[in-house]
Amino acid sequence: MASSKLAEDLRGIVGKANVLDAGVGLHLYGYDAYLEERRPDAVVFVHSTDEVAGVVRACHERGVPFVARGGGTNLSGGTIPVKGGVVIETIRMNKILEIDRANLRARVQPGMFNLEFGNALAPLGYQYLPDPASQKAATLGGNVGENSGGPHCLKYGVTTNHVFGLTVVLPDGEVAHLGGKAPDAPGYDLTGTFVGGEGTLGICTEIVARIVRLPEGVKTLLAIYDRIEDGGETVSAIVAAGMVPATLEMMDQLVIQAVEQSMKCGLPLDCATVLIIEVDGLADDLEQQAQTIADLCRKHGAREVRVAENDAERAALWAGRRGAFGAVARITPSYLVCDGTVPRTALPTVLRKVAEVSRKYDLMIPNVFHAGDGNLHPLILFDWRNAEQKVRVMKAGMEILELCVQMGGTISGEHGVGIEKMDAMRLVFSEADIRAQLKVKRAFDRRDLSNPGKMFPAPREATDAA
Amino acid sequence: MPHELDDLPQRLSGIMGGEQVREGTAASGFSVDGAEPSLVVHPGSQEEVEAAVVACGKAGAVVVPWGGGTAIGLGNPPSRLDVVVCLDRLARIVEFDEANLNVSAEAGVRLADLQAVLAGKHEFLPLDPPQADRVTVGGLVATNSSGPSRLHYGTARDWVLGLRVVLPYGERIRCGGKVVKNVSGYDMNKLFIGSLGTLGIVTEATFKLLPVPAMRVTIVGLFRELAQAAAVVACTLESQLLPEALEALDSQALGAVASAIGLTDPSGYGLAIAVAGSRETVERQVRDFTRLLAESQATATTTLGGAQGAAAWQAIGDVQARMGVTSEERVVVKIAVPIGKTLELLSSAERLARHNGWRGAVTAHAGSGIVRAGYLVGGATLESLRDGLRALRGQAESAEGSLVVETAPAALKCSLDAWGKPPEAAEVMRRLKVEFDPRGLVSPGRFLAGI
């Protein structure tokens, strides 16, 4: 730790029981769902905006880095304290402060799990739309930091489209309320800038989220294909027919097999891909929409289309998709999740090329993807104990990102840059683009203390020597 | 123009040709809140915008970008103005990727022209700002302008996928991209949307699009009391119905759009409801809303389809803009409050006119928290307007909202800040401005907190 005086101050702010600065426990806060780890010097458990402000002020005074942490589900290393310092664990700030139906807003604390929030709203007939697949364990604060997506973002957008205000502790310890229940707050859209800032612009301690009524009806279909290209073409055909389903999800054969081994969802082991399609909204035309979609699936080569007739059947169709990442872990001890995004019509091509990458590096790469928005998640399987294999994994991952960029896409759809994709930033951005982003970082965090060592590639060396 | 700018016209002519650089009286018609530019330039490409900004920067000349001019009245008077960079020649639709539902267009493309091209492939950009026939892509982004259908579709921040921007020191950058999910780096689009040209000049935008709904119908109800209209709004927001727009009009606004909505001599308050989608869902919503209006003691209702509905919405959206030709003739303010307070503020804005005997028009996006009030100067003095608007702003701010002056005579702007009370994070905003525009050469003084 930079000084034991800091630990003393931290105890003064949050109480002795809420500071961890020695022992094996520290290791538990040094990793997330990415592949690296770095032990923090201290972990503090915070319970209020004031406590967060106090902790951040103490860090700022001493020039000690800090990282906010929620559920630790981040896939790009966003919560790993790569420069050491203090991990600020927000998981105990997990309350709904207000559900304001008249204004269609809720105020929630950042440590609440996404699914828990949804479960609290549902009995009232309301919902919060962003639904990352990790929603059981991912916190709303983490969703804000990463601008998380999820299956429903095809129709409803990502976190930033549903967050209207934030209470933030800026990296110097000042507290600011950005946006709020009223729309169009004058000034720069700092709420929109902060969302997706990956914790590098400060720490959010309260969220003003939009809530909406649950849809009157939902219809879920599952289409089974013998050729993965047919699934991809169905996706484009549905969109070309003028429909915007709530979700359009795909899984390939390897994932289906893993899912079946793990939870027996009744998916055929010999099929190439399944497509999960959901339409929602007013009940009046859902039957017809489902019928049109089923026809399009069959027209594009689906060998079977299943339509959920009730909530239990709907849950069954979804179970495989929601459990896909977990099921794949049965095959090998580790995997690297790629998070490239391409224009959706490029999906069939990029899938073919991912298969080539898989052969080239001799690695198994099952695929789960949000087909409707062109966001693919190839899972590169490996054993972390095999150092040589890990090198191939990293190369293959980079190659897949390069493919996505070549197809007009980008390097991250929803998992963030973190430490994983810092170098890949140069695949999509010019030096001028990156310099402009660094201006934002400096305006918020002049001393580079809030989650340092993330997002930005190392500055290019001056290349005067010709 | 400062002395050191003497050879700037020649430099700019060298970049874009002499006929695209106007000086003196030829530059009139581009004044910003009474400030007359020395030069007006019309670059023909994004590269020329970049070169022009670099040349102006070297000369220390202050630049203000200009799109369709529809929202040039927004903001405080510039603290200085040398060159207006008019983007009218950046009128190219760069790429329309209909299969992936996105389009990239240069800043000077008029929204109406863009929509016409999109409609050819049964797609549309669901943004309907006032004066949609004149507003440009760049202006729409820079001012974050929106209209009644934000209830269902949101605002520019929900539809911009990517931007190209010329920064104040002349670098061209790209923000975002073409794909609908993108968390590669900071969400820089958000920073530039609504920044009123104070951080740079937006030269191109990429938007997400939607398929055109099969059908769209507008239902208008009239009410003796505002409370009756408010009951319909509350009932709708609690329901699972999904209207595209829910617009309330005071009696003066109602009078101004009477012929467009096909109601002769309407009185009281109006509520216009747009529903769109498949035939089944539209017919069902028309049924439900018609019943709801009747149950809520509407004195008259009418249903408009197709072109008639579109004309009605254009008239409603433009009602304040049509109250006068120049900014010296009218004041238009936008009030933003939590949704539940919308009609309370509409009522206050209406009362202000009635109490003072002013001519005006007040409308509200009743399900979105936005009230737009226009008042004619003439019957109203600047002093009475200033005092009245201050009181209205006080009410909006005590409801955690804001009142922004969108158009006003320059004299009024001297005594009434366009934006109101500086936000809590004003210091971060100032630091952003300094990072992007350390010399204060792009739209200085127009934003809030002295930015």
Q: pLDDT exceeding 70 applies to what percent of chain B?
A: 99
- Determine the pLDDT at residue B85: 97
Domains and CATH numbers, chain B: 3-86 (3.30.43.10), 93-211 (3.30.465.10), 215-310 (3.30.70.2190), 321-413 (3.30.70.240)
The pLDDT of residue A465 is above 50: no
**Residue A133's pLDDT band (cuts 50, 70, 90):** confident
Alpha helices by DSSP H, A23-108: 49-62
CATH 3.30.70.2740 intervals, chain A: 332-406
Higher pLDDT, B169 or B44: B44
CB contact under 8 A, B171 and A436: yes
pLDDT band with cut points at 50, 70 and 90 for residue A466? very low
Judged by CB atoms closer than 8 Å, whether chains meet at A409 and B177 is answered as yes
pLDDT of residue B4: 61
Mutate one of B100, B179, B210, B437 to test the A interface: name it (highest A CB count within 10 A): B179
Chain A stretch 77-106, residues whose beta carbon is closer than 8 A to a beta carbon of chain B: 100-105
| DSSP per position, A259-317 | HHHHH-----TT-SEEEEEEEEE-GGGHHHHHHHHHHHHHHTTEEEEEE--SHHHHHHH
Cβ atoms of residues B288 and B275 within 8 Å: no
Q: Report the alpha-carbon distance of residue A220 to residue A168 in Å, rounded.
A: 39
Tell which of B186, B280, B406 to mutate to test the A interface (max A CBs under 10 Å): B186
| Residue B378 pLDDT level (bands cut at 50, 70, 90) | confident
CATH of domain A96-213: 3.30.465.10
* B186 vs A: CB within 8 A: yes
| Residues 25-64 of chain B whose Cβ lies under 8 A from any Cβ of chain A | none
Which H/E stretch holds residue A360? helix A347-361
The chain B residue lying nearest A200, using CA atoms, is: B186
CB contact under 8 A, A439 and B214: no
* Contact residues on chain B for A416, CB-CB shorter than 8 A: 183
Model pLDDT, residue A464: 43
Does the global pTM surpass 0.95?
yes
Does B195 contact chain A (CB < 8 Å)? Answer: yes
A176 contacts on B by Cβ (under 8 Å): 424-425, 428
CA dist., res. A359 & res. B262, Å (int): 67
Q: B346-363, pLDDT tens digit by residue? A: 999 999 999 999 999 999
Q: Which of residues 199-218 of B touch A (CB under 8 A)?
A: 199, 210-212, 214
- In the predicted model, is pLDDT for residue B256 greater than 70? yes
Pairing of β B269-277 and β B330-336: unpaired
Q: What whole-number percentage of chain A has pLDDT above 90?
A: 86
- For B145, other C-beta atoms within 10 Å of its C-beta total 24
Mutant choice from A282, A429, A434 vs B, greatest count of B C-beta within 10 A: A282
Q: Identify the pLDDT of residue A2.
A: 46
Report DSSP state, residue B117.
Answer: H
- Mean pLDDT for the stretch of residues A75-81: 96
State whether the Cα torsion B349-B354-B358-B364 is positive or negative: positive
Query: How far apart are the CA of B189 and the nearest CA of chain A, in angstroms?
Result: 8
Cα B287 from Cα B241, distance rounded (Å): 11
pLDDT on residue B322: 87
What gap in Å lies between CA B363 and CA A350, rounded to an integer? 49
Asked if pLDDT for residue B1 goes beyond 90, the answer is no
Residue B6 has pLDDT above 90, yes or no: no
A102 → chain B, closest CA residue: B340
A161 touches chain B (CB under 8 A): yes
Q: How many helices (H) and strands (E) does chain B have?
A: 16, 19
CATH topology of domain A217-326: Alpha-Beta Plaits (3.30.70)
- In terms of C-beta distances under 8 Å and separation of at least 24 residues, what long-range contacts does A422-430 make, across chains too? A422/A454, A422/A455, A422/A456, A422/A457, A422/A458, A423/A398, A423/A457, A424/A398, A425/A455, A425/A456, A425/A457, A425/B184, A425/B185, A426/A457, A427/A401, A427/A402, A428/B177, A428/B184, A428/B185, A429/B174, A429/B184, A429/B185, A430/B173, A430/B174
Least confident of A107-111, B130-134, B135-139: B130-134
Q: Which residues of A touch B431 (CB under 8 A)?
A: 442-444, 446
- Inter-chain residue contact A443 with B368, CB threshold 8 Å: no
User: A285–B277: do the CB atoms touch at under 8 Å?
Assistant: yes
Write out chain B residues lying below 8 Å of A192, CB-based: 157, 187, 189-191, 193
Average pLDDT over residues B321-347: 92
List A residues 286-325 in contact with B (Cβ-Cβ < 8 A). Answer: 288-289
Residue spans in chain A of domains classed CATH 3.30.70.2190:
217-326
Chain A: give the shortest CA distance to residue B394, in Å. Answer: 14
Question: What pLDDT is stored for residue A462 in this prediction?
Answer: 52
Q: Confirm or reject contact between A282 and chain B (CB < 8 A).
A: yes
Measured between beta carbons, the chain B residues lying within 8 angstroms of A440 are 186, 188, 191, 432, 435
Whether A103 sits inside 8 A of B171 (CB atoms) is no
A240: which chain B residues are within 8 Å (Cβ-Cβ)? 99
Name B403's bridge partners: B335
Q: How far is B395 from chain A (nearest CA, A)?
A: 13
Instruction: pLDDT band for B2, please (50, 70, 90 cuts).
Output: low
Degrees, nearest 5: CA angle A118-A168-A453: 100
Q: Across the interface, which of A186, A191, A244 has its CB nearest the CB of B404?
A: A186
Residues of each domain in chain A carrying CATH 3.30.465.10: 96-213
Q: Which of A154, A183, A425 lies nearest to residue B370, judging by beta carbons?
A: A183
Which residues from chain B sit within 8 angstroms of residue A432, using beta carbons? 167, 171-173
Over range A272-288, report the average pLDDT: 96
Average pLDDT of chain B is 95
pLDDT mean over B94-100: 96
Q: Could you tell me which CATH number the domain at A332-406 has?
A: 3.30.70.2740
Instruction: Tell me B359's DSSP state.
Output: -
By the 8 A CB rule, do B203 and B166 touch? Answer: yes
